[in-house]
């Protein structure tokens, strides 16, 4: 009997131990399951508090800048490269047109908020309840969702220079990507005929520097324009056309990306750049690596550095865009949408080509003649 009781006691203890072991993980799991919810709540609270602080600071700055003036509407412009000459000129065009309409447009991506990515600046603009947003967009799903959210709360969005075709944006302001690609293709062929005809024992290497953030659809259309033009008009010349992605997180990363190209084994004969910063970095790399006359640059937009480089034959040519017109188109689109409930789906800015032959006109500050 004693042996049986002992056995029963041992058995009961084992069952209790087993019971405890099976229950313990359940209690532990029940506690942990609330941790993600808690962390999410903390994250949301932090985001709300930060947004509140930013908006408080921003509205205070806005009141100082407008000096008590009253405007009919208030728009925000958001770009990725706040300090470039290109975007400063676009903003100036928007600002001047806005004043004609008694509208105030502020540049959220300029100095005060340059540490915030475009998507975060979009969140701020939506939370601020502005009357309209102008943004350099991309085809990313996050951008689509932000534009759609702005539209749902009654804020029209104009995409600028980079589109989001899947969103509810009211209009896109940019350049004709295909025609721009055709122009780049024609200039690349002109370089080949002038500098490389009959001398190459390999295909001419043409590299297009593409922006990692930019609208892939626009870049694909531009690339198609270059490719088709070269294929149609190259004759017997062998051409190797390629894409090179540039890390455009900041100016330093762009410089490093461009320098990596010149440290590779197959340095391109022709570099085609799609923005001001890439053009400037390519110019500097050509000089630093002693490739002047060996690597030809087709640039994008104008600055004193780019114009002087063309004058010195370091940059072959650059495409100038009527940035004042581009900025004005953004305001026109938003105003028309507010007044009529609709606007044109596309506004295309005029462009012109700057080469050694006409760069003096720009250096003298003469008004450029844009192609319509």
Sequence-distant (6+) residues with CB within 8 A of 31 are none
Distance CA 218, CA 160 (A): 12
CA distance 372 to 358: 18
Can you give the residue ranges of every domain in the chain? 71-174+326-348, 177-300
Asked whether the predicted pLDDT for residue 80 surpasses 70, the reply is yes
pLDDT of residue 356: 95
Dihedral, CA of residue 165, residue 319, residue 245 and residue 196, to nearest 10? 140
Fold of 71-174+326-348: Rossmann fold (3.40.50)
* Fold: same for 71-174+326-348 and 177-300: yes
Model confidence at 19, pLDDT cuts 50, 70, 90, reads: very low
pTM, two decimal places? 0.77
**What kind of architecture, by CATH, is found in domain 177-300?**
3-Layer(aba) Sandwich (3.40)
Residue 109 confidence class, pLDDT cut points 50, 70, 90: low
Mean pLDDT of all residues in 111-137: 84
- What pLDDT sits at residue 108? 75
What's the rounded Cα separation, in Å, for the pair 188 and 183? 9
Give the Å distances, CA to CA, from 348 to 86, 259, 303, 352, 365.
16, 33, 22, 13, 24
Span 82-104, average pLDDT: 92
The C-alpha angle 47, 146, 34, rounded to 5 degrees, equals: 40
What's the rounded mean pLDDT across residues 301-310? Answer: 94
């Amino acid at each position: 009997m004693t042996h049986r009781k002992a056995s029963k006691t041992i058995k009961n203890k084992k069952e209790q131990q087993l019971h405890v072991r099976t229950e313990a993980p359940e209690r532990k799991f029940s506690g942990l399951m609330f941790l993600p919810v808690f962390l999410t709540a903390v994250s949301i609270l932090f985001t709300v508090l930060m947004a509140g602080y930013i908006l408080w600071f921003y509205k205070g700055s806005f009141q100082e800048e407008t000096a008590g003036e009253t405007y009919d509407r208030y728009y925000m412009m958001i770009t990725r490269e706040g300090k470039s000459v290109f975007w400063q000129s676009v903003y100036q065009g928007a600002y001047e047109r806005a004043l004609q309409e008694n509208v105030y447009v502020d540049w959220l991506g300029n100095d005060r908020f340059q540490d915030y990515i475009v998507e975060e600046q979009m969140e701020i603009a939506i939370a601020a309840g502005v009357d309209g947003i102008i943004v350099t967009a991309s085809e990313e799903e996050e951008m689509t969702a932000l534009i759609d959210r702005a539209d749902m709360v009654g804020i029209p969005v104009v995409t600028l220079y980079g589109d989001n075709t899947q969103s509810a944006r009211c209009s896109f302001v940019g350049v004709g990507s295909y025609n721009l690609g055709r122009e780049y293709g024609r200039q690349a062929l002109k370089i080949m005929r002038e500098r490389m005809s009959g001398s190459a024992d390999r295909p001419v290497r043409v590299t297009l520097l593409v922006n990692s953030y930019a609208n892939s659809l626009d870049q694909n259309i531009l690339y198609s324009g270059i490719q088709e033009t070269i294929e149609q008009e190259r004759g017997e010349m062998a051409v190797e056309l390629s894409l090179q992605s540039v890390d455009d997180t900041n100016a330093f990363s762009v410089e490093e990306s461009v320098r990596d190209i010149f440290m590779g084994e197959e340095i391109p004969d022709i570099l085609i750049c799609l923005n001001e910063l890439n053009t400037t970095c390519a110019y500097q790399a050509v000089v630093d690596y002693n490739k002047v006359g060996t690597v030809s640059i087709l640039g994008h937009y104008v600055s004193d550095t780019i114009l002087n480089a063309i004058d010195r034959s370091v940059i072959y040519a650059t495409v100038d865009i009527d940035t004042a017109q581009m900025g004005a188109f953004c305001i026109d689109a938003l105003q028309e949408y507010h007044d009529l409930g609709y606007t044109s789906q596309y506004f295309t800015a005029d462009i012109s080509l700057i080469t050694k032959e006409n760069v003096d006109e720009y250096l003298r500050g003469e008004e450029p003649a844009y192609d319509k």
